[in-house]
Amino acid sequence: MNKFFLSLPLVIISIFGFSGCATMGNNTVYTLDDAIKSTASSFNRNLLRGSKLTMLNFSSSSTGLSQYVIDQLSSTISSSTTLVVTDRKELDLIRAKSNLKITDVVDDNYIASIGRILGVEYVLTGSFTDAGTFYWFRVSAVRAMNATRIASVSLKVDKSDAQIGNLLSTPAADTATDTGTSDTGTSNTGAADSGTADTGAAANPNT
């Protein structure tokens, strides 16, 4: 009987460890650039190699910061050659033709439908929110085929990071890209606004 109770937690850990959207706890506080690099590394390691993806939007209180994260995250993911990131111009063109609204999109089915129009396997969407003593940096990957949120990264970012201050105080250049600028977060990320961070070990996409 004792052996059964001792082994039960291991069974529970195994079940959650191989669930559809895996995360792991981490209390590290990152700079903005390090959070972007860590997020790109997570997706490059865990999403299906050779897949196409697009960064749909990144909501924050600053258009300049949102645009910076989209550009840097897309570039960092692309540089590994593990995943293929679509050109933002493709998204802008389709958005203009189809009158798609992508600011603050929170519905996974709608996110997935945009991914199918673009012909990508995954759609990334994220947010940057003020948590008081730090910022939450969150990015999730939605599978376009079935609107499943299969990967989530949630990191704490240092409020004293000078890069953030510069981005918040500098107006963004004119752009046709709809980046999202309100604090909406993302739906069903599996990471609540708590005092612990879940850094996205993206789940195996074949599960």
Q: Tell me: the pLDDT tens digits for 48-72?
A: 999 999 998 899 999 999 999 999 9
**pLDDT at 206 exceeding the cut of 50:** no
Average pLDDT over residues 89-111: 71
pLDDT band (50, 70, 90) for residue 205? very low
Query: Structural domain boundaries of the chain?
Result: 27-199
Given its phi and psi angles, is residue 126 left (phi above 0), alpha (psi -120 to 50 degrees) or beta?
A: beta
DSSP state, residue 145: T
pLDDT in tens, 72-92: 999 999 998 899 998 877 777
pLDDT band (50, 70, 90) for residue 98? low
Average pLDDT over residues 8-36: 57
Average pLDDT over residues 4-16: 36
* Nearest-angstrom CA–CA distance, 165 and 192: 25
Find the angle CA(77)-CA(83)-CA(186) to the nearest 5 degrees: 65
- CATH architecture label of 27-199: 3-Layer(aba) Sandwich (3.40)
Full strand arrangement of the beta sheet holding 122-130? 29-30, 148-158, 134-143, 122-130, 52-59, 84-85
* Nearest-angstrom CA–CA distance, 54 and 87: 8
| 66 token code pair | 């949102």
